[in-house]
Every structure is written in structure tokens, then in C-alpha cells.
Structure 1
Amino acid sequence: MGKARQKKRRGNLQTPRFEITVVLGVGHGEASLDAEVEIAKSAVLYADHVRIASPRLFAVIAAMELSTVTPQTLSKALKRAVRHGGDTLRPVAEDAQAIWEALDALPPRHALTAAERKEKTALLRNFNQGLEGLRTTARRNLDECLATPLIPAINAGLISLDPLVSEEESFDDLPDDLLLQRYVDRVKSTLADQRTYPLFDATTAHLADLGVEAGEFSRSNRFNLRALNAASGTGLVERLPSFDGADMSEIVDIRKELDAPLARFRRSVEETASDLPESPADPDFEPSLDHLWLTKVSPAIEEIRERVQQDASLRRLSMRALPAAAGQVAAVGGLSATGLAIAAASHPNYIWAALAASVSVGPTIASVASERSRALNQAQNMPFYFLYRSGVSLERRRR
């Protein structure tokens, strides 16, 4: 096989997507989605895609559709808001839908009578006012239930929401036992799904354990490994010093910047997870993860920080040596100091080659450059560089 063919085949290889399915129960009985948001933040930073399944998401999806409604999505968004909008959104959506249907019932523009044109003008004015009020109500609902932070990740295609209710159904008309059965079925299917990494809240994890003990659910050793990797990876991300203050848009930006370090971090998580209890539901899991952070992860991040600082020190050293080196190379190579400085600014690799040609200064500068490159490459290739770089990015964005 030729080299060109081998190169093409290697280029077609893709890293498998790391997908996390987060299944959550009714939580603490409140409308707030703070738990979903916090879990989603760490999952988005760790995974390629996150699906959140929870019976508490039905009204959130309706509000999100209305907050960004377009003429193409208006009819669908109004129908969903009427079915799933809850006590605050539904009445406003019903009024807007009634006006929309009245507009739709009018004849085509060319067939309108003078009275009908006047009626249509009034209906359009009322509809536009009602639609703006609907958007305002939807945004207020999202803010009140703390769901607004999810929007950047949803728009970026990193999160999808599964409310366990179809578009054609009305949430209020569904029996509680049917919703509960769907929630249980979702837990069961997630346990058996080999394509995703499960992440459960405490209530759902307890349900999963009960189902397995009763023989109603089945999970393989592969499930235990997948669940452990998801819980370990997101758990370590959550322990970043500035993570609590980060918003979702910052998480999305950082996630896009760190693909290569993230792949190494995932491999490291798989290796270190063997030191943890077999199940994230184990009461000792969180203390064990804290111990792992203190004994392995935090020291590794500190070592990376020292290596990066070493690179900064070497960079300062090279900048101090540059003026003297420029003068000597100008004498040896026939270049003016000004010309060399311009060449250095435009072609940084050229300056090191030119300086290396100098008998007295070249070896020193070349050594500094080589040490700089080696220190930085070593840091970037370390397994926990992803956590270090994420933490630095979060700290900078908080300033």
C-alpha cells in the first residue's frame, strides 16, 4: 500500500463520539433546573454531546421555542406552548393562537374586502403585540426556572432535551403513573444502551440499583465502566477552582478549543477510574474522587503549571538574549540589526536558525529555544493538561 493511500486511510479514522445521557428524576420538587444546569455544565465540557432526560423539561422546551420563535416555527411553537406551557405561558399562548387562527381564516390578500383588510390590520397589530408579550413571558419563565444557561449549549448542538412527553400530548392530561413508567423505561434503556455513557442523579441511581436487584433491569460490566467514566470525568471537571462561577457560554467556548487535550484526559480518566469504587452510586465514590483529586490530579496540575511557568521564564530569557544575539549575527551574516529584527518578527523560525549560525551566541539561543519547545510540549501532552487549561481559561474569563 502506497504512502498516499495509507495517509488517506489514517485521515478517514475518526475518534468515537463520547455521548453522555443524563437521566434525572423530579428532583427536589421545585421548578428550578439548577441541578440540571450544573450537571450539564460539567458534562458538556467532558462529552461531545449530552442528552438530558427528565420529566421536568416539558415547559422549558415550550418556553425555549417561543423565546426564539420564527415565522417558520411559529405554528409548532404555539401548539407546544398551549399543551406544555404551564399556568403562566399557556393563557398567553392560547390568546396568540386564537388570533393566528383568525388571520389564517381570512381570504387571500387579493380577495379581501375593505372591511376584511381593516380587520386583518387590527388582527396583525394585536398578534404582534401578543407575540412580543409571549416571548417576554417565555424568557421570564426560563430565567425563573434557571434554564436560560442551557440555551448556548443547545444552540451549539451540544445538548438535546428529552422531556418524556411528545409534541402531540398535553402534559397536564397525562396520568402520573404513565409519566413515571416512561421515566423508569428511560432509566432501563439507558442502562442497556452501549452507545452512551450514563449519568444519573442520586434518585435515579437509587432507582437503577433497585431495578437491578429486583431483576427488572439488567446492566453489564461494560455499563459499570461507562457510568464510572462519565461520573469520574465530570466529577473532576466540577472540582476546577473557577468552575462554579462559569456560565454555559464560557464552557462551550472552552470545549471547542481543547479537543486534543480532552482526548488525552479521557484516556487518563479510564486509567485512574480503576482506583474508585465500582459504582458512582456507592457512598464512598465522592470521598474517593476527592482523594483522587488531592493525591493525583491536583499535583499533576501543579506540575503542569510549573512547566508552563518554565516556558514563560525561558521566553523571557530568550528575549533578553535577543538584542545581543542580533548584533553578533549582523556582524557574522552581514545583516543589519534592524533587518534581523524585522525578519525575526515575520519569521520566528528563521531567527533561531540565523542565531544558531553564530559561533558564540548561537548555541546558547538555540538551546533556550529547544528547552522552551520541550517544556511546553511536555506540559501539553500530560494527561491532565485539559483540566489545567480549562481552569486557566475559566479564571481569565472571570477577570
Structure 2
Amino acid sequence: MPLARRLTLTDAVAIGLGSMIGAGVFAVWAPALGVAGSGILIALGIAAVVAFCNATASAQLAAVHPVAGGTYAYARAEIGPWSGFIAGWCFVIGKIASCAAMAMTFAAYAAPEAWRTPVAVIAVAALAVVNCFGITRTALLTRILVVITLIGLAVVVAAGFATASEAAPAPLPDATAYGILQGAGLLFFAFAGYARIATMGEEVADPARNIPRAIVLALAGAVVVYVLVALAVMRTLGAHAIGSARPIADVVAASGWTGSEQVVRVAAATASLGALLALLTGIGRTALAMGREADLPRFLAHIDSRWQVPQRAEITIALIVIGIVLIADLRGAIGFSSFGVLLYYLIANAAAFRQRRPARRYPRLLQVVGALGCLLLVSTLPAVASLIGTGVVLAGVGYRMLRLSLAAR
């Protein structure tokens, strides 16, 4: 049974923005500033360029293959089953880590320390229920969350620029080439939300037209927001942001706008919820596509006849995320997620590079730059995250080899 095409261009853009604006703004600045130092804007620019190249590759592929699954489906069609499997597996493991990080980020802003774990679990369960009752409800809630988040970030930017001339921030560490590249790899985590639009290609109306436009519009909007917030953090906090668990809230506190601090906390919580909602949706669709091909258990390929969503996949993913929230912490989640997502987009660029006219919408040079950028950034990520990521990827490859071996008997 196919999924219903109910998402408009506005819905798709909102889901993309909901995925991107949240993770980076409220979670990535401290580790990125710690490695990139005064070169943070250069790192942000590199991450944005790589993300743009990857976005155009995803847009070009989605226009020709408007089905659920994103690069998992695209790589299967353009390169072969193994490439598709590795892309899909990297997406699933990377984004499951992102879901756990977003749930914990939400709880950090929304609940007292003693209640953060149960609140994170409740958030995952509640959003999984929303997803199980239809994609239009997901899109509507995402739009509401994006608006609230942008209002809160507008307050942060205004506070940061209003007080920049009143107090000199602590100078950031000097930049190094390696530090800038590692910072770009961490910041890439913040831009990866446009993939959520592509993974829902089977539910977007007029996908050949709307998916490419939605991806580019959502990415452009996110870049503008990130640049403004980065400037506000640098001009207000400087090096003090490196050791902060809540640098965005600290910008408002340092400005003296104490009455606005609660606004920022609400914005942080809603941004994390928006990102978590869109992430759960995208992973569920990729799990659905992989289940259809038996690259994950076929149990996950079921679509509910009433609500026309992959409820089994949604519930399974939510349970795994809850398990991670219960046993893990936020440290390393960004690096692990970036590892999986950069490999995912490396394969996306390779698949788009193979496309010929009339499928081509962008020059092959963009796909070359995107692929080289992914390789460069993934090589600079923290060693622990890369080692764990490599082990999990190899475990997935082993699972598929075993399944194929059993099927051949």
C-alpha cells in the first residue's frame, strides 16, 4: 500500500526547518566553538557549503524517485542494493542518536535536573503517538513549533546585538585548520534536517516540483538563522560559551534581559521537540522502505490502513530511542550522528553523480564537492565517535550478509 500524498510545499519546508532549527542552535555551539575557536564562522560556512551540495543532490534524486526512504531508495535505484543498504543503515543509526540527543536537550530546558530522564522519555512517547495518527497532524504541529522557536531566537539575536557594545566578550581561542574542519563536521549536524523532506517523498504532493524547492528553501532559511545566532553568541559570550550547557540562554542572561530568559527556554524546548518530531518521522519512513526490501525486518513495512502511516516502524524506533535515553548521555551524540549522516550523504552524492539527462538539475561539480566535503569532514570528527560509528556500520553490514546467506540456502 502506498503512502498518501498529503503534504504541501509549505508543510515540507516547515518539516525541514523543524529538523534543522533546534539541534544546532541549542546543542552544537559549545563543542563547535571549543574546536573551531575564532574560526567558527568559517567552519559554519564550510558546513553550509557541504550541506548545500548535499541538498542539491538529494533534491535531484528526490525529483526522479519520489518514494519513501530517501537516499536508501535513491542509491538502490542508481547504484545498487548494497549502496542503498549502507546509506539507509547510516541514516537510521545516525538519526536515532540525534533523536536521543534532542529528547535530552528538550528535557534539559523544560524540566528540573532530577526529572530530565523521565521527561525525555515522555516526550519521545508523546511524539510517536502524534506520528501514529497521520502525517498532516505531524506537519501542523511542526509548523507551530517552528514559529515558536523563531520567536525565541529573534529575542536571542536582539539581546545579543543590543548588548554587544556594552561588554567585551572573552576572546575565543585561535583558529587552526584542523579545528575549523572539525567544527564544520560538528556544525554539519545542524544542517542535516533537509533529509527529512526527501525521506517523505511518497507523501509530498507534486514531488518533482515541491521536494527540490522545499529542500533549498528550508536550507536557506536555516543558514540565515544560524549566522545570526552565531554572531550573537560570539559578540556576547565569546569563549565563555565553550563551557556552557545552555549558551543560547546565557546570551539573554548576559544581556540583562532577565524577563526574556523564560521565552528562550520555551523556544529551546519547542525547537528540540520540533527536531525530534521530524526526526522520528524521517527514520520511520526509511525503516519502512528498508523493511519493504527485507534490509530490516519486514514487520516494519506495514502501513496502517486507517491513518496511512508506518505505525510499527514509528513505535519500534521510539522504543529504541527511549532505551538510549535511559542508558546514555548527551556527550558524543553529535559526533556519532554526524558520522552516520556524512556517510549517508557521501552515497547520496555518488548516486546523484550517476544520473544523466533529463534527470540532471545541477552540475556534477556540486556532487563532487559534496562527496569530497563529506569525506573531509568525517575524517576530522572525534575519534571515539568515529570508532563507534564504524563498528555499528560494520555490524549492519554483517547482518545483511547473514540474511542474504540464509536466504540463498
TM-score tier by shorter-chain length is: under 0.3
Structure 1 or 2: more helix by fraction: 2
TM-score (normalised: structure 1): 0.25
The alignment's TM-score, normalised by the length of structure 2, stands at 0.25
Structure 1 or 2: larger strand share?
1
